[in-house]
Amino acid sequence: MRFPPALVPKWRRSAAEMKLVCIYLNTPCLFQDWKNSSLLNNDILGATLENYSVTNLTEPVEIRFWHNQTLDNSSAICVFWEEGPENGSLGNWNSAGCDTHHQNGVVLCQCNHLTYFAVLLKISSAPIDKAILAPLTYISMVGCSVSAAASLLTILHYLASRKKSRDYTAKIHMNLLGALFLLNVFFLLSGPLASVQSTWLCRGTAAFLQYSLLCCLTWMAIEGFHLYLLLIKVYNVYIRRYVLKLCAVGWGLPALAVVSILIFKEETYGLHIIETDTGYDNATMCWITDKAQDVHYILNVGYAGITILFNMVILVTVMRMLRKLRSNMNSQKERVKKDLVTVLGLTCLLGTTWALAFLGFGVFLIPQLILFTIINSLLGFFICLWYCTIRREPDPSSSTGSSQMTK
């Protein structure tokens, strides 16, 4: 550690002796934050000036951390330890007032204050630009609120309708809207409840949020399966207690997965940090923790990938069938409009817009974040519009196909 000459004149107000205390620690368990952050070699260096709080130095304090690891400018950052707001509450690592410089085998930290210093290893994905995160958060809040309201109103309208007894397709749509309603509600709650600092409340919210997400994916897969039976198999299809069995799968399998995680690995759920490029002004939500990302990639990303792939195959097959059917008819603008509405509606029902989640890399990251946030936060609203459109203008051919399925 190197201390600037200006340190002594600024804080020495008398001829009394001044004590500069330097500490070296290799026990990161004493400095654990909510993120369970990883430190370079677990090295922590501290410096304090007895009876003085040293801040806003004109010349920085220099701290060198030697290592034999392969690092780049984005994987390691100089930080200092910031105490929690209350006694007993967890503190956090903060990079404010510290600059990071990389040399051969050395990380040089230049900070304008004295405290405990370390080098934080950033093993997560690329941080989000703070200027982008704020509008994305606002869009998500507005979009999810609109979708939740639209989904709930559509379900209530359906329940109040007298024409619902044998319409299995509409029942499947309502279950999907119910799952989307839960997903939007728990997503809206996940941010505010993260600041409550209640482990069990945050863990419960995160568990319900993942349950809602898995239910959405399952019901989207069921939409694709039902469409396959309705339009591709068409004849000789009869499943006893069809909707009841679909509900057991759509709501039961996600519940089994989440309950199993809570029993065998409950620490999976908790506070999740969304890192920004500032390194310290991060957003938080109740979700899967950073130390359980294997669950996220296997259960969420993997399951979503399989569901989207299956439904995209179904969607392409349906589009080919429509094209083949219309090729034998005279071109009619009204028919083309109805086909366009059908394809757009199926795109929402089958969740193929969620495929944008797999384009979050390189130059596609910012456009992907914007498009994914706008489209999928309003997914429930889009399905509501589509459902109202097809109910106002029923298609005789589609009702015939539905009757064949539900006999």
Q: What is the largest CA-CA distance in the chain?
A: 101
Which pLDDT score is estimated for 273? 79
Query: Are residues 315 and 322 in contact, defined by beta-carbon separation less than 8 angstroms?
Result: no
Which pLDDT score is estimated for 235? 59
pLDDT 10s digits, 174-207: 999 999 999 999 999 999 998 887 889 999 999 9
- Lookup result for tokens 């399952």: 218
Domains annotated for the chain, with CATH where assigned, are 7-121 (2.60.220.50), 130-406 (1.20.1070.10)
Query: Are residues 63 and 111 in contact, defined by beta-carbon separation less than 8 angstroms?
Result: yes
Rounded to two decimals, what is the model's pTM?
0.71
Which pLDDT score is estimated for 407? 38
State the Cα torsion 377-381-383-388 to the nearest 10°.
180
pLDDT 10s digits, 47-65: 888 777 788 888 889 999 9
Residue 366's pLDDT band (boundaries 50, 70, 90)? Answer: confident
Distance of CA 234 to the CA centre of its chain: 38
pLDDT 10s digits, 267-297: 899 988 787 765 556 788 999 987 788 899 9
Residue 406's pLDDT band (boundaries 50, 70, 90)? Answer: very low
Which pLDDT score is estimated for 127? 65
Cα–Cα dist 20/8, whole Å? 10
Q: Is the pLDDT of residue 2 over 60?
A: yes
Residue 321's pLDDT band (boundaries 50, 70, 90)? Answer: confident
Order the strands of the 98-103 sheet from edge to edge: 61-66, 106-111, 98-103
Residue of 251, 253, 225 lying closest to 405 (CA atoms): 225
Phi and psi torsions of 269, nearest 5°: -100, 145
Q: Is the pLDDT of residue 400 over 60?
A: no
Cα–Cα dist 157/389, whole Å? 14
Tokens of 139: 């869009």
Q: What ranges make up the beta strands (E) of 32-135?
A: 38-39, 44-49, 61-66, 76-82, 92-94, 98-103, 106-111, 116-121
pLDDT 10s digits, 62-88: 999 988 776 654 568 899 988 876 666
What does the mean pLDDT of the chain come to? 82
State the Cα torsion 186-190-191-194 to the nearest 10°.
160
Q: Is the pLDDT of residue 320 over 60?
A: yes
- pLDDT greater at residue 351 or residue 402: 351
Weakest mean pLDDT among 94-98, 142-146, 188-192? 94-98
Residue of 214, 177, 212 lying closest to 382 (CA atoms): 177
Start-to-end C-alpha separation, the chain: 81
pLDDT 10s digits, 221-254: 999 999 888 877 665 667 888 999 999 999 999 9
